[in-house]
Structure 1
C-alpha cells in the first residue's frame, strides 16, 4: 500500500534488530524509547518527539519505560511516490527543490500542541481495531505534510535529500567511525552498508589495510585503555559497555592488543 498507518505495541524490549524499511516511516512514540542506527549516524527518540526514517537498512532497538509495561508507537509508512506527488502539488508552498548530499537519513521533530493532537487522532482511529479507510490514511499523511511544510519548511525540504551519497568508500568510513564507541558487530556494519559480509570485509581491507575485526578491536581497546588510565575505572565496570558479555573475554582481548591484563596496565601507568 502507498500509505499505511498501524499500531505497534509490545511488552518485550527489542534488542538491536536488523530492519529493511521498504518505505519511509514516521514513528510516533507513545511509551518507551527507540534508538535507530544507520551507516553513518544514529538517533534516539523519546515520547515527546517523533522521527521520520528514510527507506533503507537500519538497526532498531526499543526500551520499555519504567512506569509502563508496554512499548507503544504508531507507525505511518508511505512510498517515495506519495512524497514526490505531494511536492509536485505544493511547489508554490515549498519553493524550488535544491538537491543536496550528505544529509541524515532521518528527521526528528518535537511534538507541539497540534502534533500531539494529531497523534491522538491516529490513536483514536486505531482504537478497538477500527478499520482505517485507505483514503483517510492518505488524508492524514497530507495533513501532516502540510503542517510540517508551514511550520518546519526547512526540515521538510530535507526529506528529499534523506539518502547517502558519495560512494561505497564514503559509506564504509562513515559507518565504522560513527560506531567505534558502540558494540556493533562487523555483520551489522555490513548490513547497514547494504553489502554482503564478504564484500564489506574486502572493501574495508582495501580502505584501511586491515580486517574490520582487527581494526575495531584495536580502536575499542584504545578506548578501554583511556577509561582505565584517565577515568580510573575497573575492568569489571567497563567490559559490558565495550560490547563484551563477560569479563574474561574482555581481558583476553585487552591482552591480545597490549600484552598485559587491564589490572597490570593500570598498575604500570
Structure 2
C-alpha cells in the first residue's frame, strides 16, 4: 500500500519558513480505498462536496460537506467511495505548529480565561458544523484560488487566522480541544487508542502499526507487552465478546452481526464464534432466550 505525504503529494509547495501556510483546492473523481496518509503539518479540511472515511489513532470519522475539520499532523488511513457520490471536492489549509503557536500567543488572554471554565478532552481531530459565516468563508477562498495565481503568505495568514479566531470565539470548547498529536500521549496510550478504537474496522497489523508510527514488528512486540497476547488472538477474543453482547440484545440477529464486527463473510464469523463459545451464534441466541 503506497504511503501518501501531505501536502507534498498534492501541492508543488511544501511547508517552509516562507511557506508555512498552504491553501489548496482538492478534487477527486476516483475511488480511493484505504490509502495510508502521513500529514506532515496541521490541516483544516473544508469539504465542499462528497464524503470520505478517515481512520486516526483514536477514532474513525467521515468528513462531509456539512462540517469542517481541523486535523493534527500525524497519520491516518483514508478512503473515498465515489460509487455513492459524483465527486469529492474540498479546500485544504495546511499550517505548521509555529503558525498555530503564534495564534495561541496572540490570543493568550482570551484562551487563558476560557480554559478556566472549559473542561476539554484533547483531540487530534475536531469537527465543526457549517454555518452561514463558514459557507461565506469557503466562497471567499474559492474566489481567491480561482482569481489569483499565487497567494502571498500575509494573505494566507490573514485567512487562516480569520477562521481560527471565528472558531475560537464561537465554538470555544471544541476549538480548545484541538491539540498537536505529539501532545496526546505515550506510545502505549497511542497503541491502546488505535487498537481499542478500531476493533470492528478490520484493520490489519500493518495498518495499525502505520497509525502508531511503528514498524509492524515493534507494534506486535509492544502489543504483546501491553495485552499479554498476540494482536490477532486478542482482537478476535474482543470481537467474540462483542458478538455475545449483541446477541443478548433481542434486536440483533446473527446474520447482521458479522458485518458490523468487520468479518469478511458470515461463514467466517460463524466458524470463529463456534470455536470460541462451542456453539453457533444462532444456537447461542436460542440458549439465551430459553434462559430468559
Measured after TM superposition, the shift of residue 64 of structure 1 is 4.8
Contact 1:13 1:62 in 2 (8 A): yes
Cα 1:121–1:260 shift into 2, 3 Å: same
Measured after TM superposition, the shift of residue 224 of structure 1 is 2.1
2:168 aligned partner = 149
Q: Report the TM-score, using the length of structure 1 for normalisation.
A: 0.84
2:86 aligned partner = 69
1:193 aligned to which of 193, 196, 212: 212
1:26 aligned partner = 44
Distance 1:155 1:235 in 2: 38
Q: Does 1:35 align with 2:53?
A: yes
2:64 aligned to which of 46, 66, 78: 46
1:138 aligned partner = 157
Secondary structure at 2:271 match in 1: helix
Which deviations, in whole Å up to 9, do the C-alpha atoms of 1:204-248 show, x marking residues without a partner?
111211111101101112222333343464443332222222223
Contact 2:50 2:86 in 1 (8 A): no
Contact 2:199 2:239 in 1 (8 A): yes
Measured after TM superposition, the shift of residue 162 of structure 1 is 5.1
Q: Does 1:220 align with 2:225?
A: no
Distance 2:210 2:234 in 1: 18
Measured after TM superposition, the shift of residue 76 of structure 1 is 0.7
Equivalent residues in 2 for 1:172-183, closer than 5 Å: 172-183=191-202
Once the two structures are overlaid, the 10-residue window that deviates more, 116-125 or 157-166, is 157-166
Cα 1:261–1:149 shift into 2, 3 Å: closer
Secondary structure at 2:48 match in 1: strand
Q: Does 1:88 align with 2:123?
A: no
Distance 1:245 1:70 in 2: 27
Secondary structure at 1:15 match in 2: strand
Q: Does 1:9 align with 2:19?
A: no
Distance 1:149 1:264 in 2: 54
Q: Report the TM-score, using the length of structure 2 for normalisation.
A: 0.79
1:121 aligned partner = 140
Contact 2:114 2:172 in 1 (8 A): no
Measured after TM superposition, the shift of residue 55 of structure 1 is 0.3
Cα 1:65–1:73 shift into 2, 3 Å: farther
Q: Does 1:168 align with 2:179?
A: no
Contact 2:72 2:179 in 1 (8 A): no
Cα 1:244–1:86 shift into 2, 3 Å: same
Measured after TM superposition, the shift of residue 117 of structure 1 is 0.3
Cα 1:101–1:153 shift into 2, 3 Å: closer
Distance 1:172 1:12 in 2: 32
Secondary structure at 1:28 match in 2: strand
Distance 1:90 1:241 in 2: 44
Measured after TM superposition, the shift of residue 39 of structure 1 is 1.9
Secondary structure at 2:89 match in 1: strand
Cα 1:265–1:59 shift into 2, 3 Å: same
Contact 1:104 1:163 in 2 (8 A): no
